[in-house]
Chains A and B, each alone.
Chain A
């Protein structure tokens, strides 16, 4: 392993939560502006987490402490792996494991709202799984390797080969960033029928950990956009900002849909664009 990779991982571990928190702050301010409000200060997400960190230690089941820690650590670990140009498939598996821990934390509370949140989070993991595997497969077909490193050093940006996968990626990003219309398991606002869904039984430090993990996750998924525009830093940056703005706008112009509609719409998109893209790529014999 290159020393540069280790530096990259460490940088990611430190910078991602800071950037993620700032982006969340931007998100909240922008959302407020879309709603004709002034909105909170930019640093509000940090205040929130700091406050949560100092709250009383209270839980509905002590195992949630370890589960939320595991969630945070594994998400950070996946991010670090991504930052080192590591194996994309492994990043995804590690993310799935991390989410399993979040789901277990919700299950362990044995409260109906947390439980349904857990089931819905599980559904969203299920929705996400195919497109992630297809994404990895697409990268493999383009570069002959699952390593993000190879994707990054491509001469031609990946989006040329994987436009369909990119579309699906943007669609599922809404789910991943817990935005309307697909914020079925929990959301950043007061979530209606499920109270707070998967995080509803977490409080204090556990919730703070989940919050930080969300920042990491957001950075992981946003930085995956890089893979589609590798080699063009300006273009990548523009793409990331545009996608992020698009997500905020989508959040504001859609009501929440039911989980059934979520599964159907996202899987139809996955089947049409994702699988279609991979099949075309496969028929053309890949790029290698």
Chain B
């Protein structure tokens, strides 16, 4: 009966959404009949700035596509320019980028776990996750000088080196962080009530995930072995990377993927620190980029693609970003239909939406 429908404008301003996205929720009782997203609240048009900033300075702008995945964006952009110009960055720089990339994955996943707990009304778990995240941010700040926007990547390498003495101290601090994370993920993965809320909610089948274009943990939660890190860019080839895959396809599986990736990231960081090669962190760059390049890397949220097109001047001719959240929107639309209103926040969050990324 159409007379029994409630239409709820969910967002753009809503406590569950730190970022603006809008959903037109049509619910009956509390069952969602249809949920159509509407975006464009964060669209800035950043890609249009390439022709007024030099490609080297544009790194700082690329970094500000998103405040959470900032490091990956800057490194992907640098990687793209380096690809266009055929620059080989020093090994140490590659290792440092890998380390920071994994740190930013840690901070992003912890942030997500916190927000996810919050969306389930689990305040104390939210605080717990964010408390651990603060120690990750401390590591970031100590090594790069910025908490969430690191500003450390540079075409040709990185701007700052990290002292070896600091790196060796990092290992002990990682132990403590890992212990805390164990307590945290134990709750996420084993708590009875949380399981009740998560298992079987928002199921995305393997096929749907593949053909609707799911990326990152969303795809891996549905049993897809998809991770750009497997291609072995930066130092990932040296650390023996294997993607974390869960088969459930539901909210629990996606949560489990992220929980397990936390420990995987810690492992990678440990490997990178121990194997850190000595040497320069920066290769001087000469000339201007020309040609086309698809630069891909794995963000905490999935595969990000920077398309760069140079025309031999200091400014790029074209810059396009395809972010994991954008391609995770179609799966989101498909899993929202038929869910409970109370599950809408957690289902929206299971794809870990990063609207800032998505809309540039």
Q: Are B121 and A256 in contact (CB under 8 A)?
A: yes
Whether a CB of chain A sits under 8 angstroms from the CB of B142 is: no
Q: Are B194 and A258 in contact (CB under 8 A)?
A: no
B residues near A189, Cβ cutoff 8 Å:
121, 123
Q: How far is the CA of A181 from the CA of B125 in the complex (A)?
A: 13
Q: Are A257 and B196 in contact (CB under 8 A)?
A: yes
Q: What count of chain B residues pass the 8 Å CB interface test?
A: 31
Closest Cβ neighbor of A193 among chain B residues: B345
Given contacts A255-B117, A258-B342, A260-B340, contact A180 B15 (CB under 8 A): no
Residues of A246-263 contacting chain B, CB below 8 A: 252-261
Q: Are A180 and B121 in contact (CB under 8 A)?
A: yes
Residues of B1-36 contacting chain A, CB below 8 A: 6-9, 14-16, 30
B residues near A183, Cβ cutoff 8 Å:
121
B residues near A254, Cβ cutoff 8 Å:
122, 193
Q: How far is the CA of A236 from the CA of B120 in the complex (A)?
A: 34
B residues near A257, Cβ cutoff 8 Å:
193, 196-197
Stretch at the interface among A108-116, A226-234, A271-279: A108-116
Q: How far is the CA of A195 from the CA of B16 in the complex (A)?
A: 8
Residue in B8, B193, B341, B343 whose CB lies within 8 Å of A181: B193
Q: Are B121 and A192 in contact (CB under 8 A)?
A: yes
Stretch at the interface among A1-9, A30-38, A42-50, A208-216: A30-38
Whether a CB of chain B sits under 8 angstroms from the CB of A176 is: no
Whether a CB of chain B sits under 8 angstroms from the CB of A187 is: yes
The smallest beta-carbon distance between A7 and chain B, in angstroms, is 41
Q: Are A258 and B340 in contact (CB under 8 A)?
A: yes
The smallest beta-carbon distance between A23 and chain B, in angstroms, is 19
Whether a CB of chain A sits under 8 angstroms from the CB of B128 is: yes
Q: How far is the CA of A31 from the CA of B6 in the complex (A)?
A: 35
Q: Are A261 and B196 in contact (CB under 8 A)?
A: yes
Whether a CB of chain A sits under 8 angstroms from the CB of B124 is: yes
Q: How far is the CA of A115 from the CA of B121 in the complex (A)?
A: 20
Q: Are B196 and A195 in contact (CB under 8 A)?
A: no
Q: Are A195 and B15 in contact (CB under 8 A)?
A: yes
Q: Are A192 and B345 in contact (CB under 8 A)?
A: yes
Whether a CB of chain B sits under 8 angstroms from the CB of A191 is: yes
Interface of A (DSSP majority class): loop
Interface of B (DSSP majority class): helix
Whether a CB of chain B sits under 8 angstroms from the CB of A190 is: yes
Given contacts A36-B131, A193-B16, A261-B196, contact A255 B6 (CB under 8 A): no
The smallest beta-carbon distance between B177 and chain A, in angstroms, is 15
Residues of A166-205 contacting chain B, CB below 8 A: 180-181, 183-184, 187, 189-193, 195
Q: How far is the CA of A187 from the CA of B194 in the complex (A)?
A: 19
A residues near B122, Cβ cutoff 8 Å:
180, 254-256
Contact with A along B109-132 (1 / 0, CB 8 A): 000000001111111110110010
Whether a CB of chain A sits under 8 angstroms from the CB of B148 is: no
B residues near A252, Cβ cutoff 8 Å:
123-124
Q: Are A180 and B123 in contact (CB under 8 A)?
A: yes
Q: Are A192 and B196 in contact (CB under 8 A)?
A: no
Q: How far is the CA of A184 from the CA of B197 in the complex (A)?
A: 14
Q: Are B120 and A255 in contact (CB under 8 A)?
A: yes
Q: Are A35 and B121 in contact (CB under 8 A)?
A: no
Given contacts A181-B193, A190-B15, A260-B340, contact A255 B30 (CB under 8 A): no
Q: Are B125 and A255 in contact (CB under 8 A)?
A: yes
B residues near A184, Cβ cutoff 8 Å:
342
Q: Are B121 and A191 in contact (CB under 8 A)?
A: yes
Contact with B along A19-59 (1 / 0, CB 8 A): 00000000000010011110000000000000000000000
Residue in A181, A192, A253 whose CB lies within 8 Å of B118: A192
The smallest beta-carbon distance between A268 and chain B, in angstroms, is 14
Q: Are B121 and A34 in contact (CB under 8 A)?
A: no
Contact with B along A83-120 (1 / 0, CB 8 A): 00000000000000000000000000000110110000
Closest Cβ neighbor of B25 among chain A residues: A112
Closest Cβ neighbor of A190 among chain B residues: B15
- Listed by A's residue number, 22 A-B pairs whose Cβ atoms lie within 8 Å are A31-B124, A34-B124, A35-B127, A36-B128, A36-B131, A37-B127, A115-B6, A181-B193, A183-B121, A187-B121, A192-B119, A192-B345, A193-B344, A195-B14, A195-B15, A252-B123, A253-B124, A255-B121, A255-B197, A256-B342, A257-B196, A258-B340
| 3 tightest Cβ-Cβ pairs between the two chains A and B | A256-B121, A255-B122, A255-B120
B residues with a Cβ closer than 8 A to A are: 6-9, 14-16, 30, 117-125, 127-128, 131, 191, 193-194, 196-197, 340-345
A residues with a Cβ closer than 8 A to B are: 31, 34-37, 112-113, 115-116, 180-181, 183-184, 187, 189-193, 195, 252-261
Task: Taking A191-B121, A258-B30 as given, write out 20 further A-B residue pairs in contact, using a Cβ cutoff of 8 Å, ordered by the A residue number.
Answer: A35-B123, A35-B127, A35-B128, A36-B128, A112-B6, A115-B6, A180-B121, A180-B123, A181-B121, A184-B342, A189-B123, A190-B15, A192-B121, A193-B344, A193-B345, A253-B124, A255-B117, A255-B197, A256-B120, A260-B340
